[in-house]
Each structure stands twice: as C-alpha cells, then as structure tokens.
Structure 1
Amino acid sequence: MSEDNSKKEFSHIDQNGRVKMVDVSKKEISERTARAAGEIKMKPETLKKIKKGNLKKGAVIETARIAGITGAKKTSDLIPMCHPLLLSSIKVDFDLDFKDKIIITAEVKNSGQTGVEMEALTAVNLAALTIYDMAKAVEKSMEINNIRLIYKAGGKSGIYERAE
C-alpha cells in the first residue's frame, strides 16, 4: 500500500513541491560536535610506502589531512541542502597501526543552529579520496569503506553515540 505523499510535510520541500533549504533561524544556538570515521583498505606494500613517504606524489597523510579539513569547510558547496557554517574546529586524524588499512577520523565543532555531521562525514570522504589519488599509481584496487557517523552532540536531539 503506497502512502499519499501530497499530505506529508517534508523538511526540504515546500507546499508547492519545490526544493528548499530548511529554515533554522528559530533554532537555539548550541555547541555542536560531530565525529565520523572510515577506512581505506590497501595492500600491505602500499601502506608501507605511504608510511615511509616513498610515493612520488609526496606527503600522503598530511595532504589527506588538508583535504579533509578543506572538505569540511566546503560541505555546503558539495551537498545542495547543507547550510554554510562557521566551523570553530576541524581535526582529521589517521590510524596507521594496521597492516592493510588506514582508519580516518574527523571531528568538527561549531556553535550554531544546525549540526556538523555532514561536515565530519565529508572530511573523512575527502581524506580517503586524497589517499586514493596519491597512491593509485601504486595500487588501483584500494577500497574506501565503512564511512559513518560515530558521535554527535548538541542541538535538540542531544547526544548520539554509535555502538561500535
């Protein structure tokens, strides 16, 4: 049985069926934090080259960190209904203590009227894509996996913590 969507109220569609950005002007300003994580899997030899800095394109991890930070800042340019936000903190970190993958985490903070989950998720994605771009000459079979929100705080919905 299909639902009649004409009677539903959608947050991103107005009464005439046109796409709109959600109005957050009446929402309370609160401290907001989001953390996301993901991984890029690769052959152990590729990871060794990244760790040693033996790739022709240069400093893979630091370039990926910059890409993640830039991605978080540019999220509203990439995802149509995301609000442009003034971010107060962006951290992108890498766990290289595995034999065949790099775990990427990003934490984004602001004080505002809407959350920063999309910014944290975008940071992880862009960092992973940058690692892929910089190491693809060595290995094209790398996989970007398991990108997810792991924590968020602030706003009306409060705290969310993923059971890992």
Structure 2
Amino acid sequence: MPGPEESSAQLSHVDAGGHVRMVDVSEKAETLREATARARVRLQPQTLALIERNQIAKGNVLEVARIAAIMAAKATPQLIPLCHPLPLTHVGVSFELQREQGLILIETSARTTYKTGVEVEALTAATVAALTIYDMCKAVDHTITLEQAYVARKSGGQHGLVEFSPESEAPTP
C-alpha cells in the first residue's frame, strides 16, 4: 500500500500528510468543459410498453426522470464530497427505448465554462435518471436493473477530448 507521499502524487484529493482535501483550482484557467454520461435500465418489455403509453401510476416516467436528472446535476456538490460547485450552463437528457431488449438507454450531457470538469455532474444526472425510472416502475416490475453507468466523453481542460465505451474498455485521448 502506498504511503502518504505516494498517494498525494496520484490522488488529487489527498494532501502530502494523507488527509482528504478539496482541490484548489484557483490558478486554473476557465475553459469550456463538456461531458457526456450514459446509463441503462433493463426492465420487462411489458413495463417498457406501460412507460411508452404513459400508464405507470406515478406519472410520466421519462419526463420525471429528465427533471430528476437535471436537478441532480445541479445538486452534485451537495451529494458528492469535495466536488466543486460549478456554474452549469447546460444539462441535457435523452432516452432511447430498445423494446426488444427491454432497455432504456440514458444519455446526459453537462456543460460549463469553468476551472474544473463536469464529468461527475453528467454521471450524477445519468444515474439519478436511472434511479428515478426504477423508483417509478418498481411496483409493476421487480426485475429492474441499472447497468453500465459511465462517462462516455469529456472535453476541455488539460486532457482535451477523451472518449470511452465499455466495449473498448480503455479511454481514447
């Protein structure tokens, strides 16, 4: 196991003494930063049909999930310790229904012009959208699973463009 000195070189949220800290971004330049995250929800095809026909008792599942995702992105600093509050300029949410596979594919995007990235905000949005779908449909489907939450793309900052797909298993700069 690495000592405190080794950890601080690798983990930006750990100081030289091994103590947790919020990263100081004061000296970083503000740049346009964007991130896209994806998650998917697997459910019974008949549950998906109920969602499409807006027949889930709790309401319009996808629209409630969209609002929950946007709210979650904005609330990320209250949910994730040491996460910087960001002036988000955009949060987008889309859904793709794959009827035969019983899947809802969720894609979220977040954008800011700031000193640190928006990957966590995009990922929080995607996972909260998935959780909302689960919550709204759990009474009619006890087999729902949340799958493959990941950051698919990020741009801005010192690393530039990075894309990832679970099929590739490695980010591509």
Q: Same fold (TM over 0.5)?
A: yes
1:40 maps to which residue? Answer: 41
1:56 maps to which residue? Answer: 57
- Identity between Structure 1 and Structure 2 (%): 43
User: SS state of the match for residue 88, structure 1?
Assistant: strand
Structure 2 CA distance, aligned partners of 1:131 and 1:86? 27
Spell out the pairing of 1:87-102 with structure 2 (5 A cutoff): 87-99=88-100, 100-102=102-104
Q: How many residue pairs are counted as aligned between the two chains?
A: 162
Q: Is 1:115 matched up with 2:117?
A: yes
Where structure 1 has 5 or more consecutive residues not aligned to the other structure, the ranges are none
List per-residue Cα deviations over 1:92-121 (Å, max 9, x = no partner).
Answer: 110014330100000100000000000000
User: SS state of the match for residue 123, structure 1?
Assistant: helix
Residues 5 and 16 of structure 2 are in contact (CA less than 8 Å); yes or no, is this contact kept in structure 1? Answer: no
Structure 2 CA distance, aligned partners of 1:7 and 1:97? 48
User: SS state of the match for residue 83, structure 2?
Assistant: coil
Q: Is 1:6 matched up with 2:8?
A: no
List per-residue Cα deviations over 1:99-144 (Å, max 9, x = no partner).
Answer: 3010000010000000000000000000000000000000121000
TM-score by length of 1: 0.94
2:158 maps to which residue? Answer: 156
Spell out the pairing of 1:22-33 with structure 2 (5 A cutoff): 22-33=23-34
1:71 Cα deviation after fit:
0.6
TM-score by length of 2: 0.90
Structure number with higher relative contact order (C-alpha < 8 Å, ≥ 6 residues apart):
1
Structure 1 CA distance, aligned partners of 2:52 and 2:19? 49
2:170 maps to which residue? Answer: none
Spell out the pairing of 1:70-89 with structure 2 (5 A cutoff): 70-89=71-90
1:132 maps to which residue? Answer: 134
